[in-house]
Every structure is written in C-alpha cells, then in structure tokens.
Structure 1
C-alpha cells in the first residue's frame, strides 16, 4: 500500500535553526487544521514520532531528548507535543520525500533507530 505523506515543520523561533518535524497524512491534516474535531489525531499523523534538526532543513533528523521537548514545549508527552507542532507548524507537502509517498509494506522511509535521518530534506 502506498500512501501520501507530508511533513509539518515547527520552528520555535524564527531566528533558530531548530526544527521539529511531524509526518502527516496531508488530506486528514488539512481537515483537522481547518477545525474538524471529529478526526482523531491518530488518523492525522503517520506516527507519534517527533523528529528534530538543529541545522534547519538541511540537517540530519534525529529524535529530540525529553529535556529538549520540555524546554521548547513545556512537556514531553507525545500527544501534547504533536498537537503543538501540528497547530503551530507549517505543512511542506511531499517536498522532502521521494515523490511524497512511501510504501508501508516495505516500512517507513524514516530511520527510527536514533542515528539521524537523511531521507527528509525541505
């Protein structure tokens, strides 16, 4: 099964190179962002993983520490952090992904082993 994905990028400060990224279903995200509260967050996001780059859109993506999340978002709870990223972030439709799709049968194109990611660029 091939599905469309987009990334939502949240920068806590316009001068900062820090970016927090969530992977979303673009159609569900648009409906959710437009105020459709009947859509569960689990349908909007690809996973509850938040990725971080300290080098802007050109940097490698890794997982932020709980301390980073607490400092930036005031919480490290995944649902709360994800909600803030989705509410305050901006969507970048498929720009950073190979064709904007990936196959769930082959697994996600995102490396979640904590080594950083090279597959997503803005």
Structure 2
C-alpha cells in the first residue's frame, strides 16, 4: 500500500464532517513550526480540498462552494487550505493500489454480448 500525508480539520468535535488537504509531510512540519518562507505550493500536493461526512473511513469527495462558505466563511482555495493547515492535524493515510468501484452491481453494464459468433444475432 502507498502512504501519504494529509492534514485533517474537523469544524466541530462532535461532527463526522472532516475537511482535508494532501500535503508533503516534511515540508508541512517545517511550515507549521513557523518556517513561512516555504511556499504553500511546496507544502500541499494541490490546492484541492477534500471532504468526508463519514469520519476517517469515509470516501473523500469535493465539498461544494456553499459548504466551504458555511464552514470557512470563504470558498477561495488558498484561504481554505491555509485555514485547514493552521488548525488541522497531520495524519498518515494509506491508499489501496487496487481499483474498486462503489457499486459493483453495475460493473458489467457496458459489456457487449457477442454470442457464439456463428451466425447473425438471433431472435
């Protein structure tokens, strides 16, 4: 399994909502200790903010601008990312290398049945 670092921010200790940013762990540790000379672009993997409403084991999705406005009073990515970095907690997470779907029942819906190929499709 691959591992990566993320900074997780919970707006409320009783909530299962979590907002997170994927970070470079070493650069983040220096940045949070006060080395603000490190550009944010080096601290974060990207300025994408992820959200899960199911705690640490939930599927990460992207929050809407409305969710960001409600929680952070802004939807500007730099401001939201900075807020998460300053108030969140660094965590190490692992990513499964295998691909899985969220709905295996629909897995084969785009396959074409070719039959035996011995004739023209039948009735």
Report the TM-score when normalising by structure 2: 0.74
How many Å apart are 1:4 and its aligned residue?
6.9
> Is 1:97 matched up with 2:89?
no
After the TM superposition, which segments of 4 or more aligned residues of structure 1 sit over 2 Å from their partners? none
* Unpaired stretches in structure 2, ≥5 consecutive residues: 103-123
CA distance in 1, matches of 2:82, 2:17: 18
| 8 Å contact kept, 1:7–1:24 | yes
Length, aligned pairs only: 98
> Is 1:36 matched up with 2:56?
no
How many Å apart are 1:98 and its aligned residue?
3.8
CA distance in 2, matches of 1:39, 1:21: 20
Cα deviations by residue, 1:8-65 (Å, 9 ceiling, x for unpaired)? 1000000000000110000000000000011000000000000000111111110000
User: Hey, what does 2:108 align to over in structure 1?
Assistant: none
User: Hey, what does 1:16 align to over in structure 2?
Assistant: 15
User: Hey, what does 1:52 align to over in structure 2?
Assistant: 51
Report the TM-score when normalising by structure 1: 0.74
1:97 partner SS: strand
CA distance in 1, matches of 2:55, 2:24: 22
CA distance in 2, matches of 1:66, 1:33: 26
Q: For the aligned residues, what is the CA RMSD?
A: 2.2
| 8 Å contact kept, 1:51–1:62 | yes
